């Protein structure tokens, strides 16, 4: 199953007279990277939650927010670091004076600052609440994966459509690849006649020049490689799993072959099709970056 890297999921798990609510959002990123927003008493569960996320998410920037209602934590101890609060107050007072502000610095403002208010939760309490938190996380992940899979299917349909378009344009290029040589023979013969005043043409020399031109402008190998890359592209999509990076690499190879064809060909229609192919490849690369 091919999945997009963007999605959203929400999960809840009830306990006694309350519940845990988990919201997970993912966006594009080269690697797995998780940012968790947890209540103070549940900070110790951060690694466990990240492990649960990594089992389902291979790539992407993950934002998780956890909240709870009711008495989830019963044996926790709240403490205030007075020294840290004092340092904050001193520096904020200096800043207020420097800026000429009349605002008052309230206790409620200080306790919101990092390191001032601490909530220590006992090991026994964490062991008790983890199953509830885990259920909420797993439900959120289930909905997130479904969301990512739905968008992944849409992206794959679009990528497949563009790959087929490139294949059709490649067939057109292949059908016109002989025109380069025939057109060059005609134009070269006319030029010799003009330069020699209409005298007989040295056919041996003409064919030699045409052969050199044909060798330098032969695009048959590039067309073959382009077709092979397209087949590999379609197979990779059909294979599923983590395809984003591989599809982007194949798209780079497609672009390389299209560039070479464009530099060799002198036929106007071939050049136009190459431009269209390169445009489709750029769109493919943009879409591939959205896949896990």
pLDDT in tens, 5-33: 999 999 999 887 789 999 999 999 989 99
Which pLDDT value is given to residue 84? 87
Q: What mean pLDDT is predicted for residues 259-267?
A: 83
Q: Are 58 and 152 in contact (CB under 8 A)?
A: no
* DSSP per position, 10-70: EEEEEETTEEEEEEEEEE--SSEEEEEE--GGGGGGHHHHHHHHHHH-SSEEEEEEEEEES
Task: Say whether pLDDT at 258 is over 90.
Answer: yes
Report the predicted TM-score, pTM, of the whole model to 2 decimal places.
0.69
Q: Helices 244-264 and 268-288, interaxial angle, to 10°? A: 170
List Cα–Cα distances, 155 to 4, 24, 127, 214, 237, in angstroms: 8, 21, 41, 40, 10
Task: Specify whether the CB–CB gap between 121 and 42 falls below 8 A.
Answer: yes
**High-pLDDT (> 70) share of the chain, %:** 80
3-class secondary-structure state, position 219: coil
Q: Which residue has the tokens 């679009």?
A: 158
CA–CA dist 145, 126 (Å, integer): 27
pLDDT tens-digit readout, 126-167: 677 889 999 999 999 999 999 999 999 999 999 999 999 999
* pLDDT of amino acid 42: 82
DSSP codes joined into one string, 26-37: EE--SSEEEEEE
For residues 176-202, give the mean pLDDT.
62
Average pLDDT of the chain, as a whole number: 84
> CB of 54 within 8 A of CB of 32?
yes
């Amino acid at each position: 199953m091919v999945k997009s890297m963007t999605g959203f999921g929400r999960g809840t798990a009830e306990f006694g007279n309350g519940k845990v609510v988990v919201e997970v959002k993912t966006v594009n990123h080269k690697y797995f990277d998780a940012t968790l927003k947890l209540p103070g008493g549940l900070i110790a569960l951060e690694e466990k939650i990240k492990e649960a996320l990594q089992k389902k998410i291979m790539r992407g920037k993950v934002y998780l927010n956890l909240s709870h209602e009711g008495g989830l934590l019963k044996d926790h101890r709240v403490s205030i670091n007075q020294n840290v609060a004092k340092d904050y107050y001193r520096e904020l007072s200096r800043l207020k004076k420097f800026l000429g502000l009349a605002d008052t610095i309230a206790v409620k403002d200080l306790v919101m600052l990092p390191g001032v208010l601490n909530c220590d939760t006992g090991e026994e309490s964490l062991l008790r609440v983890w199953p509830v938190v885990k259920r909420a996380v797993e439900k959120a992940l289930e909905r997130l994966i479904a969301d990512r899979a739905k968008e992944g299917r849409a992206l794959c349909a679009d990528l497949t459509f563009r790959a087929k378009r490139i294949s059709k344009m490649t067939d057109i290029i292949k059908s016109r690849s002989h025109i380069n040589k025939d057109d060059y023979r005609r134009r070269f013969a006319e030029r010799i006649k003009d330069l020699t005043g209409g005298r007989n043409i040295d056919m041996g020399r003409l064919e030699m020049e045409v052969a050199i031109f044909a060798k330098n402008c032969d695009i048959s190998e590039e067309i073959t490689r382009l077709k092979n890359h397209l087949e590999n592209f379609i197979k990779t999509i059909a294979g599923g799993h983590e395809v984003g990076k591989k599809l982007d690499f194949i798209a780079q190879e497609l672009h390389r072959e299209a560039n070479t064809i464009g530099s060799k060909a002198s036929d106007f229609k071939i050049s136009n099709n190459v431009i269209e192919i390169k445009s489709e490849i750029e769109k493919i690369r943009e879409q591939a970056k959205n896949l896990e």
